[in-house]
Amino acid sequence: MSQGTLRMYLNKKEPYSLSTETILRLALDISRGMEYLHSQGVIHRDLKSNNLLLNDEMRVKVADFGTSCLETQCLETKGNMGTYRWMAPEMIKEKPYTRKVDVYSFGIVLWELMTALLPFQGMTPVQAAFAVAEKITCAKSLSFLKDNDRLFREKFSICRLLDNRLDSQCKNERPPLPESCQPALAHLIKRCWAANPAKRPDFSDIVSTLEKYDECVKEGLPLTSHSGLVSRNVILERLKGCVSMSSSIPVQA
């Protein structure tokens, strides 16, 4: 039996209502599925909550491979693929891309699990894409875009039209992370949707990180940095996995 898509499930939830345990379980299913796809040389290119199927056992399956391609062949295609709200900036701008576009999209999906919200609510898909790729967050620029969606679709020519209109203080936009977000998960999300694809982790790294966080939750341990003496090696290893940034943990002699 199926509950439908992950997006349908999240639409029925109150914002920020999913437990950390549930977030990790769903995120692990998604990242493991993507890890397998990438191990087979396949780039999904349209990873989003609407393309993730959820069954009655709350297990997720990656679906809809209509835009997928072999990584060795993807560079032969023209234009951008996927859905703007989840699309990596390099694909929006029709630049060369790698499997890391899926990692960016996963970062957006993980944000959805954290919030149960639609990414870039209040923006049209075109406005969201331009904000992500072209350092636009200014209301004036977004207002201009609202009346010029057609220009955007014509090979992103709107970029050149707006080059001299942008506020230099604007930055690459991402959905806002809630204050309640676990610091470790917030750090993972930021790594996944980094503007530089080289700074995004591989799915094998994501799976390993989420598995360690899951162990922390099961042991009743927080997902933030730790310090202090540790007497059991197994707990020490789990604590290392809970640290969102690299740090040293003193070990009892």
Model confidence, pTM: 0.75
- What secondary structure does DSSP assign to 95-149, as a single string? ----THHHHHHHHHHHHHHHH-SPTTTTS-HHHHHHHHHTT---HHHHHHHHT-H
Classify domain 2-119+175-199 by CATH number. 1.10.510.10
Question: Which residue is catalytic, options 29, 46, 102, 214?
Answer: 46
Q: What is the C-alpha separation between 250 and 171, in angstroms, rounded?
A: 39
pLDDT digits (tens, 9 = 90+) for 121-176: 888 888 888 888 765 434 444 444 545 555 444 444 444 444 433 333 345 789 99
Residue 140 has a pLDDT of 43
Active site residue 56: no
**How many alpha carbons fall within 13 Å on the CB side of residue 149?**
9
Which residue numbers in the chain have pLDDT < 70? 1-2, 75-79, 134-171, 224-253
